[in-house]
A and B are shown apart, each in its own frame.
Chain A
Amino acid sequence: MDNRGYYHQFGGAYLPEILVATFDELDETFREAKNDPAFWQAYEALMASYSCRPTPLTYCENLTRHFGGAKIYIKREDLNHTGAHKANNVMGQGLLVRRMGKRRVIAETGAGQHGVATATMAAKFGFECTIYMGEVDVERQRPNVFWMERLGATVHPVTDGTRILKDAINEAFRDWVSNMDTTHYVLGTACGPHPFPEMVTYFQSIIGKEARAQILAAEGRLPSRIYACVGGGSNAMGIFSGFMEDPVELVGVEAGGRGLDSGQHASRLCSQDASIGVAQGYRTYFLQDADGQMQETHSIAAGLDYVGVSPILSDLKETGRARFAAATDQEVVAALSLTIRKEGVIPALESAHAFVQAFKEAPGLSPEESIIINQSGRGDKDIFTVADAFDDPRWKAFIIRKAEQYHA
């Protein structure tokens, strides 16, 4: 592989020898597709007929009035089939899997959204499907596990390490090194060895392309700022890439968990706890100790609970092209609550991180300005976590009754 996917010092392809040939094949297939204008057309057509694209850009009149500053728009990635931006990446990689003639797909998942999207694609395209998911996430995102299994996927709970997203990625790699002849690993975010960061960004760039045209149609001018939550970085890269050349401020919001001083967060780009390292096949900021051992992370949102971050975002931070902030679990639940009541939309806990920062900044902007929040997914999957956060007594009573029925 000649182009090794560096964004200044970040990225690369730190691959075990056994996978080098597989990555060469993937890179070549991706390059061919990217250079074939018919490919992007076919991709857009598929996303239109299968996943409600273009997704709307919704003006939030009530929130705008509430904060009394910039006009607040949200890009509705929650309206994708399966309820998150993950579908964009997965369907795109599915088309590549067909080109490569492989029959089986594997994926890691944190929130379960990427797992559900991959299982859906596998069902539609007729691929065998195995999903790796940390045991902790299996517990907190049970509804998605249920749907993955209905869709015909085998869900493999991962009991090693910290039992969350990074450990699921390791297990997926271990499967892949044994089965690469038949299998493609559908990595779910803009991380990992080259070409994944570039390839996932390419498919997710459909968000930014649409959003730019939509805001120009609505406002006649560019927005001042774009807000996106940052787990691995795919929804952020997707919307940012539409505005990269514009005078628009790009703001990524990480999981502040119980606070940046608590040691219990997943903030790689705005906490002192992160440093540059090489793991899971690429170089970026990681939450690691002085020896280079990866640390435990925490977030209320499983999809943001990850030790690394897209090498492209690390570079955007270093060059100053993007700015990063963190939102705590508590702030996230408050922003979620407000958005549901004011606008009647239910963002995913992951997405709600972006809302937190936008709400902090909107009052300081003028009413002539506009901002876009990327609503990367819908919150239905979070019903158990959100019910706990609100300590909802009726929900608890319902669960107890339900459990009793199963016992009987």
Chain B
Amino acid sequence: MLESYIHDRRKEKEILLMTHIVMGYPSFEASMEIVAAMVDAGVDLMELQIPFSEPIADGPVILAANQQALERGATVDRCMAFAREAAARFEIPFLFMTYYNILYRFGVEAFTQAMAEHRIRGAIVPDLPPEEGGEYMADMAARQLDPIYIYAPTTPEARMKRIADVGRGFIYCVARKGVTGAETDFSSELTDYLDRCRRATRLPLAVGFGVKRREDVDFLKGKADIAVVGSQTIRLMDREGPGAVGDFVRSLR
């Protein structure tokens, strides 16, 4: 499972990198090229986002990528096929990131079954809090898949503990209020928050939202296990094309 993979990797690296793509943006061919470049540049885990028409937790960059992927004909079936191919070709663990309606319409059990068959190891579903996720958690557990839960700076300590009890793999710590893509202040306030996260769970911690340069990743060393880079690679790709992604990822660590 993901937790032991992360612990093993952490013996060799001070911090791991998780990157993110929106499948089908700008096209499925380019998406596969980007995955290859990211793996080649040494990322440790990857989030594959299945686009959704109402990505309520995402900021303008990822929102636009979701919309354009859908306009260009991305379907859930096509994303499943893509994920299967990526997981078969590359060694690192892949996770799905998407919104609950995608699972709900697919059928939660069928969705987790497809994940297991395609060797997708976990899922991040930001609009499915543990209180609403009974069926999902059971179906994930039955297939040894990891439901990744989220901490936010607004999460009270008691709730952090409850989330830790149901989370598997690692906890995704949202670095600040707001949506994906905006500027994060890597400051003592963030350190205090990550301390609180650390005390609440023994699961590895991933930190995302606003991580975009080497200094940000350096800041997180010793405070978290995984740095998550999302919007920044999409921005870079929009500007310079998929070819620029590999060098960028290499520059982060």
Chain A residues proximal to chain B, CB less than 8 Å: 1, 4, 12-22, 160-161, 166, 170, 173-174, 177-180, 275, 277-281, 288, 290-294
Contacts and interface: CB of A to CB of B under 8 A. Distances in A.
7 contacts: A13-B132, A17-B152, A160-B64, A160-B67, A174-B179, A277-B101, A291-B105
Interface string B97-141: 001111011100000000000000000001111011000000000
Interface stretch (B52-60, B188-196, B219-227, B237-245): B52-60
A14 B151 contact: no
Given A14-B129, A177-B57, A288 B177 contact: no
Given A177-B177, A277-B104, A278-B101, A16 B127 contact: yes
Q: Closest 3 interchain pairs by CB?
A: A292-B105, A178-B178, A18-B152
B86 to A, nearest CB: 20
Contact of A1 (B54, B59, B131): B131
Contacts of A292: 52, 76, 101-102, 104-106
B132 A12 contact: yes
B76 to A, nearest CB: 5
A17 B174 contact: yes
Contact of A280 (B54, B63, B131): B54
Given A4-B132, A160-B67, 9 more contacts: A14-B128, A18-B153, A18-B154, A21-B154, A166-B54, A177-B179, A277-B104, A278-B104, A292-B105
A161 B104 CA distance: 21
A173 B182 CA distance: 15
A20 B101 contact: no
A154 to B, nearest CB: 18
B159 interface: yes
Interface of B: 52-54, 56-57, 59, 63-64, 67, 70, 75-76, 99-102, 104-106, 126-129, 131-132, 149-156, 159, 163, 174, 177-179, 182
B56 A161 contact: no
B132 A17 contact: no
A292 B107 CA distance: 11
A16 B44 CA distance: 26
Given A174-B59, A278-B100, A293-B53, A18 B105 contact: no
A277 B105 contact: yes
A384 to B, nearest CB: 29
Contacts of A161: 53-54, 67
B56 A173 contact: yes
A291 B75 contact: yes
B178 A177 contact: yes
B169 to A, nearest CB: 16
A16 B126 contact: yes
B132 to A, nearest CB: 6
Residue from the set B100, B106, B182 with the largest chain A CB neighbour count within 10 Å: B100
Contacts of B151: 17
Nearest to A1: B131
B56 A4 contact: no
B177 A178 contact: yes
A15 B154 CA distance: 13
B156 A178 contact: no
